[in-house]
A and B are shown apart, each in its own frame.
Chain A
């Protein structure tokens, strides 16, 4: 094999010389390089010990944010132990280290030894802490108009009348009691009393009649101690009926005093 290579080398060399000779004159005769024989191969190195990881754990493996976990490791044959991320090179080949990751982290331990390295991972799962119990806030005040809508009942009137009926007196008395409490909680709000009519009278007369009904209810509440400055009146006549059928049940529904808060 080696002889054959040499022969080929010599052939190539002679070809190169003769080829060159065809084109230009060679001033001096070429010297032939003879390679030296190879050195004998080195002896194989002695076998080296490979690093091994006996264990690498995170304890506890699940923590809540802000808590810590202990990374423990044990290696053999290691000359260098590195834990990533954020931990770094360890002095001890067996040891522990407390970590407190902000989020779930997989730690990688690399143990390097003269005969090779070993890698192992351990994961610390980080859970968000449960939301804190709601801190007791100051209660949000309910909208005055919804309170009034819920707490104050309508009153009814007889056909073409604005007198406060017996049943309406009872309702207005209860409404007045509620208003006294409510006005204490809502010191700046006012209540508007709306007067409504059924459709049978003329629109013009009903606007007057609805005004009378609202004012009659207001006067009754004033007698029960509600301040006039907390009460307003408005007549809608027959402009805003609750129902539009032409029968007494519907007419009766429309002949009403209604309370709204503002």
Chain B
């Protein structure tokens, strides 16, 4: 028995590593492979800004690291002198290539950086003013090195310093084609008020706020592509029904639910004009589409099985990934927007659920118990065209509801790895896992612009 399970384990491990070797190009395609080294020395501030430089430096470093496009060089190998302004650079005497006041001091060993951020902060008109630069230190001269040289203004407090750091980081990331997550929001379900309600928070877990106050079970959020509408499934009329809110006014918008004991799991078309959801009006939860108010209903699937979690391709609006029990245990399927050409995406092993489209419309993240006991979900990514997949989490509790960040590089998900269900973000290669919530039970995150 023991031998057998050991053998099985070895076989699984071999399979798993083969899978990783085969499909890691999925991750490379999404988040890149060779990451340039960036040096991010702490900036100094004068006068009243000094008190807020920890907030500034911590935020800048964190944003650049979290983006996952750089390799962060170790601060311990930095030169002793660090430039604060462009005029601090001086062509060194021959043989002194290690001074921090010349490009080679950063591009040569031991730092080996390609990029360097520097600058300083001061008070002007009672504001926090940051003078920030980004240099490509591999360039031979200063004229070619400068990529960013910009002034940023914020309020003279920690919030202002943090805001300025986000903006500086955002400008740096834009140069590399990466959208900053600063300003994006995550909606999620939390029971910390005593009932499951909709909550929202910033991309980094700050500003956690209760959105709904229905005092019943409200769950399964989805958000329109433009971020203007939040839909969820709520028991406020006694049975699970769809409720739509405006995210701007937080008012409830009209939506006609079919006369069924279950109307749930809405997904928005990219143009926000039509929606797809699950309804059991026929006796079985099948998929229907309707306009944004619930009128103009068309049936998409019909069968004596359960179809839930329709997710419309955000890029093309032409295909739907959904979860169905039509072939046995719940698996992922894909079909055309009118319900034609249904094909299974997952292998049939385990249970698969929670598909989330990458903004590029070609990949999905999802949760799957493949290789684990029923209920032990892990986060996977799949290239929908060739059904190649890669596993991002590896058995640390239940890992569910992965959802792509607008930058297409990060994933927010829920995990009970700490003992209770909480929300985490990670880079799409499974690294840089960060816990965003800790109070109550928190689940089903969706990342909004």
Q: Which A residues lie at the B interface, using CB under 8 A?
A: 159-160, 199-205, 207-209, 211-212, 214-215, 219, 232-237, 239, 246
List 5 tightest A-B contacts by C-beta distance, closest first. A200-B375, A202-B353, A208-B285, A208-B306, A211-B262
B residues 375-392 near A (Cβ < 8 Å) are 375, 377
Alpha-carbon distance between A207 and B260 when the two chains are bound, in angstroms: 13
Map CB proximity to A onto B340-371 as digits: 1 under 8 Å, 0 otherwise.
Answer: 00000000000101100000000000010000
B444 at the interface (CB under 8 A from A): yes
* A205 and B219 contacting across the interface, CB-CB below 8 Å: no
Q: Which of A159, A200, A207, A237 has the most CB of B within 10 A?
A: A207
Given the known interface contacts A202-B354, A208-B280, A211-B280, the answer about A234 and B238 at a Cβ–Cβ threshold of 8 Å is yes
Q: How many A-B residue pairs have CB under 8 A?
A: 92
B264 touches A207 (CB 8 A): yes
- B325 near A211 with CB under 8 A, answer no
A208-B306, A215-B261, A235-B262 given; A201·B351 CB < 8 A: yes
From 254 to 301 in chain B, residues with beta carbon under 8 angstroms from any chain A beta carbon are 261-262, 264-265, 278, 280, 283-285
Contact partner of A239 among B219, B265, B278, B330, CB < 8 A?
A: B219
Whether the pair B306, A212 counts as a contact (CB closer than 8 A) is: yes
A212-B306, A234-B261, A235-B262 given as contacts; is B240 within 8 A of A203 (CB)?
no
Contacts of B375 in A (CB 8 A): 199-201, 246
| Interface hits, B297-351 → A, CB 8 Å | 306-309, 323, 325, 329-330, 351
Chain A residues closer than 8 Å to B308, beta-carbon distance = 204-205, 207-208
Q: Residues of A contacting B278 with CB < 8 Å?
A: 208
Q: What residue of chain A has the Cβ atom nearest to residue B306's Cβ?
A: A208
Chain B residues whose C-beta falls within 8 Å of the C-beta of A159 in the assembled complex = 374
- Cβ contact of A207, chosen from B240, B354, B367, cutoff 8 A: B240
Min CB–CB distance A126 → chain B (angstroms):
59
What is the bound-complex CA distance between A239 and B323, given in angstroms?
Answer: 19
How far does the alpha carbon of A159 sit from the alpha carbon of B325 in the complex, in Å? Answer: 13
Judge whether B330 and A201 touch: CB under 8 Å.
yes
Give the interface SS of chain B, mostly helix, strand, loop or mixed. Answer: loop
* Closest-CB distance, A260 to chain B (whole angstroms): 11
Contact assessment for B240 and A205 in the assembled complex, using a CB-CB cutoff below 8 Å:
no
B353 A204 Cβ-Cβ under 8 A = yes
Q: Which of A200, A207, A211, A234 contacts B374 (CB 8 A)?
A: A200
The 29 listed contacts between A and B (C-beta, < 8 Å) are A160-B330, A200-B375, A201-B330, A201-B375, A202-B354, A202-B367, A203-B443, A204-B220, A204-B264, A204-B354, A205-B309, A205-B325, A205-B353, A207-B262, A208-B264, A208-B278, A208-B325, A211-B240, A211-B262, A211-B280, A215-B284, A233-B261, A234-B238, A234-B240, A234-B261, A235-B261, A236-B217, A239-B196, A246-B375
B residues within 8 A CB of A207? 220, 233, 240, 262, 264-265, 308
The listed residue (A202, A212, A236, A246) touching B285 by CB distance below 8 A is A212
Instruction: Give the CA-CA distance A202 to B444 in the complex, in Å.
Output: 11
CA distance in complex: A236, B220 (Å): 13
The yes or no answer to B400 lying at the interface (CB within 8 A) is yes
A199-B375, A215-B280 known; A204 vs B351 contact (CB < 8 Å)? no
Please tell me if the beta carbons of B377 and A202 are within 8 angstroms of each other in the complex: yes
Q: Are B285 and A211 in contact (CB under 8 A)?
A: yes
User: B126 an interface residue at 8 Å Cβ cutoff?
Assistant: no
**How far apart are the CA atoms of A203 and B117 in the complex, in Å?**
45
Q: Which single member of A200, A212, A235 contacts B240 (CB below 8 Å)? A: A235
Q: Which of A203, A219, A232 contacts B261 (CB 8 A)?
A: A232
Residue of B nearest to A193 (CB): B261
The docked-state distance in angstroms from the alpha carbon of A245 to that of B377 is 17
A202 partner residues in chain B, CB cutoff 8 A: 309, 323, 330, 351, 353-354, 367, 377, 400
Instruction: Provide the bound-state CA to CA distance between A214 and B280, in Å.
Output: 11
Docked-complex contact A214 and B261, CB < 8 angstroms: yes
* Cβ contact within 8 Å between A209 and B280: no
Residue of A nearest to B353 (CB): A202
Q: B325 to chain A: which residues have CB within 8 Å?
A: 160, 205, 208-209
Interface assignment of B431: CB less than 8 Å from any CB of chain A: no
> Which residues does chain A contribute within 8 Å of B265, judged by CB atoms?
204, 207
Select the residue from A202, A215, A235, A246 with max chain B CB neighbours within 10 A.
A202
Chain A residues with CB below 8 A from B284, complex form: 212, 215
